[in-house]
Amino acid sequence: MTGTALWALRPWTPRADDPPQCSDTLVVGGGLTGLIAALELQSRGASVTVLEAGQAGAGASGRAFGSLALGCTASPGALTKRYGPEQAVRIWRESSNAVHVCLQYLSEWGVRADLHRAGHVRVAVRRGQEDEIRAQFEQWRRLLPHEELSLATGDELAAEFPGAGFRLGLVDRASASLDPYRLLGELVTRFQDRGGRFVEHTPVTRITRAGDRFTVLHRRGRTAADKVLVATDGHTGDLLPWLGRRVYPVGSYMIATAPLPPGLRDAFSRRTVTTADVRKNYFRVTGEGRLVFGGRLDLAVDVPPARIEARLRRAMLSRFPALRDIGVTHAWGGRLGFTFDQVPHVGTRDGVHYAVGYCGRGLPMSVVLGRLMAHRALDEKTASAFGDGPFPARWYFRSTPWFVPLVAGAHRVRDLAHRRRGWERA
């Protein structure tokens, strides 16, 4: 992880718990997935311990963009080629429905976390992308017939995002945004108040099994458990080699401006926005009027804050030159977990339950997969498109994702090709 997230301006500190010698259930990973699984198991009467490698909220969950948006990272076409049309539709609908599941979960728990329901828009930023947006709109209408979807013209987008020059947008009104760091803090507090142990700065080094009993070795000793759940996503690595070969880390980065002047702030919509480029940017205006602007920066991990600020500020000003006199106060990044089919997976391997591979959609999917993982630990196998299919690996990936720069290069080439086609149409 790199830089300090904007959301950490309002820090929270969990109770200082020690790891027990034994626990009914042990969860490795104290992000949203791990916490939601722990709360679900706790509600069933289990004693649950969560081990977090670092400081609470310092992982990807507390550094996220904070968007709850419809869709799936993998395109319907790619899913159809890999899994067939029926399973592709299941994956896409379950992925999109995760937004509603997450919002319902927050409502049931009475969690606010600066939740704001303004919708999301995917925008064409250059000539030639309009056809892609229109095709996606028609595709989404077939896949998600119950959602409120519409197209926004360039003039309508100019009224919401002055100066950006967006050409066309696909709007979904179900999407929302929130403060992910505050959400995690509220869940940790509820978990501890109900008797759960949340142990910071305790990385797990090994998980062994003897019969039906597990021993989890960690920095502060060892803990015996009847059940072990792993929610480490982009940090899985060599802890579980079989799982680590199926999830690789990708960096995602953001900057936040100082609060915008009232006139400029009022001109911006509160929708979350994603560009239609392969190397997409995304942004939103927070409740206190800051612009949070993000991107993947060639997919690299652990990019220094100064480089994050320089590259993302340049991209931001190319869209919003009126912000040139507005300072950047925060630059930070997180490590996402990607799978080779760009689909999250929940399952069990050698008795260890896992939920990983959110591919940039961890906020809504953490609720769905965290609960699914808990249900499987309770031998309640709830049907899911994310748990019923194969979990692909690649022969060329063992521990170092050497291929990620090549993927980033391919993305640059695709964006250049799209741009050239736009010029040819001009």
pLDDT at 302: 87
In terms of Cβ atoms closer than 10 Å to its own Cβ (0-12, 13-18, 19+), residue 395 is: exposed
Looking at residue 425, its pLDDT comes to 52
What is the pTM (predicted TM-score) of this model?
0.94
Asked if residue 415 has pLDDT above 70, the reply is: no
pLDDT of residue 2: 67
367-408, pLDDT tens digit by residue? 999 999 999 999 997 889 999 779 999 999 988 888 888 887
**For strand 120-124 and strand 272-275, is the pairing parallel, antiparallel, or unpaired?**
parallel
Matching residue, tokens 């480089």: 307
- pLDDT tens for 60-105 read 999 999 999 999 999 888 999 999 999 999 999 999 999 999 999 9
pLDDT > 90: percent of the chain: 78
Amino acid 419: pLDDT? 60
Q: Which of 201-205, 279-283, 391-395, 422-426 has the lowest mean pLDDT?
A: 422-426
Least confident of 28-32, 110-114, 233-237, 419-423: 419-423
pLDDT in tens, 122-141: 999 988 899 999 999 999 99
Per-residue HEC secondary structure of the chain comes to CEECCHHHHCCCCCCCCCCCCEEEEEEECCCHHHHHHHHHHHHCCCCEEEECCCCCCCCHHHHCCCEECCCCCCCHHHHHHHHCHHHHHHHHHHHHHHHHHHHHHHHHHCCCCCCECCCEEEEECCCCHHHHHHHHHHHHHHHCCCCCEEEEEHHHHHHHCCCCCCCEEEEECCCEECCHHHHHHHHHHHHHHCCCEEECCCCEEEEEEECCEEEEEECCEEEEEEEEEECCHHHCCCCCHHHHCCCEEEEEEEEEECCCCHHHHHHCCCCEEEECCCCCEEEEECCCCCEEEEECHHHCCCCCHHHHHHHHHHHHHHHCHHHCCCCEEEEEEEEEEECCCCCCEEEEECCEEEEECCCCCHHHHHHHHHHHHHHHHCCCCCCCCCCCCCCCCCCCCCCCCCCHHHHHHHHHHHHHHHHHHHHHHC
Rounded to an integer, the average pLDDT of 310-332 is 94
Query: Tokens for 68?
Result: 């709850």
pLDDT of the residue at 416: 66
For the cut 90, the answer to whether the pLDDT of residue 257 exceeds it is yes
> Domains in the chain, please, with CATH?
1-119+175-247+341-393 (3.50.50.60), 120-173+248-338+399-426 (3.30.9.10)
166 φ, ψ (degrees, to nearest 5) = -65, 140
Q: Would you say residue 413 has pLDDT above 90?
A: no
Q: So what's the pLDDT on residue 127?
A: 86
Q: Give yes or no for residue 278 having a pLDDT over 90.
A: no
Residue 423 has pLDDT above 70, yes or no: no
Q: Looking at residue 381, what is its pLDDT?
A: 79
